[in-house]
Amino acid sequence: MTGGVQRFELRDKVGLVLGVANERSIAWAIARRLDEAGAGLALTYQSERVKPAVESLAAGLRESVVHPCDVTEDRQIEALFTRLEEQWGRLDFLVHSIAFAPAAELGGEFVKTSRAGFREALEVSAYSLIPLARGAAPLMRGRGGSLVALTFQASERVFPGYNAMGTAKAALEQIVRHLA
């Protein structure tokens, strides 16, 4: 260990990191460490609005590609894995660092959570791991692979104002258990 950070080797490994939006994203910190360990990376962007930022960050990595992927659109998820199969023919790991709830759903009383806001928080933050795992599985088959999903303590206890996101993170954890 150097400076409290354990070194690891990922040379000849390729992976997908979802959730990079800017240099403050947890997903970006993860991508940088994976790059330092030697992994080839695919990063995704959710919309044209964040595409330039993600492309700029990816340009500083050793080996990276950038693809669109709005996880609420099955066709985009399918297209992503088609591209990854064409580029690499395999996938060693997937990092799910995606979370979203409409701003109106954060803060205030939990009982005032809207059906639409709750649905969107669950779809983006939790359900999205299922079709992503479905797309990754054929590229990992026969060689192993890892799915990593980021969660938060609000999955187990109440954090005032976190509202539907706590439920979404609890659902994400249960999805991980089912996938394991």
Q: What are the catalytic residues? A: 162, 169
| 180 alpha-carbon distance from chain centroid | 17
Distance between CA atoms of residues 152 and 70, nearest Å: 22
Q: Report how far apart the first and last C-alpha atoms of the chain are (Å, whole number).
A: 29
DSSP letter, residue 110: G
DSSP letter, residue 23: T
DSSP letter, residue 96: E
Residue 164, judged by CB atoms within 10 A of its CB (0-12, 13-18, 19+), counts as: buried
What are the distances in angstroms from CA 123 to CA 27, 101, 113, 117, 128? 19, 10, 15, 10, 6
